[in-house]
Amino acid sequence: MVRKIIKIKEELCNGCGLCAAACHEGAIAMVDGKARLVREDHCDGLGDCLPACPTGAITFEERQAPAYDPAAVARTQAARRQEGPACACPGSQARAISREVPPAACPGPSVSALAQWPVQIKLVPVRAPYFAGAHLLIAADCTAYAYGAFHRDFMAGRVTLIGCPKLDEGDDTEKLTQILAFNDIRSLTVVRMEVPCCGGIQRAARQALALSGKDLPFQVVTLSADGRILGA
């Protein structure tokens, strides 16, 4: 079948191994000091490995390839768990963040409301414990800089995902669809900037919600460049 799959340019690969650590499906391995796509049937085409690559060696291509095989991926992951923990990039390891005092109870500007890591849409896993019962915030990555009380007013009590439809490679609709479909998400809020290109993150979230088959409370908040709320 012809489908979207990653392509690794060997001449650009510096052998750091970050892409192999970011690929939770086990499609990528380090061979002779270079990253290689060793299992085409393990590549889901979502590109979690792309933002992990510091040299831009990984891109998407449309070509003849075996279909993604989730059952084979599950067997590989189970075998890895039996072998014990592997070395992974700290920047891509999923974890929840707990605080003694809830951010909403602290009016101070220095209190972070971030509830999990990672936050970038390309890096976040499709399934994670912190998604259970979560109120999901999908935000354009400029919004937190434009709106001073972003943590307090938007992130507190929510799981936050960020992205930029203009700069991030590939469409996030498919991955957001899986996150919504595979987890017990309770609501979905999108915060975007007023600029037209930011409409891409709104469209991706709206399409993902429709494709997931879920009926969730959904709202979009638009911010101006000078930090005003233009609509909700």
DSSP single-letter state for residue 100: S
> pLDDT digit string (tens) for 47-62?
888 888 888 999 999 9
pLDDT at 85: 43
**3-state SS class at 92:** helix
Give kind and range of the element (H or E) at residue 146.
Answer: helix 143-146
pLDDT at 53: 87
Q: 152 in the Ramachandran plot: left (φ > 0), alpha (ψ -120 to 50) or beta?
A: alpha
Share of the chain above pLDDT 70, in %: 88
pLDDT confidence bin for 80, thresholds 50/70/90: low
> pLDDT digit string (tens) for 7-44?
999 999 988 778 888 888 989 988 877 889 999 999 99
Question: Residue 84 pLDDT > 50, yes or no?
Answer: no
The model carries a pTM of: 0.61
pLDDT at 82: 61
pLDDT at 91: 56
Question: Residue 145 pLDDT > 90, yes or no?
Answer: yes
Give kind and range of the element (H or E) at residue 135.
Answer: strand 135-140
pLDDT at 86: 45
pLDDT at 124: 86
The predicted model gives 167-181 an average pLDDT of: 88
Question: Residue 135 pLDDT > 70, yes or no?
Answer: yes
Residue 20 Cα distances to 28, 31, 144, 218, angstroms? 5, 11, 30, 35
Higher pLDDT residue, 64 or 87? Answer: 64
Higher pLDDT residue, 134 or 169? Answer: 134
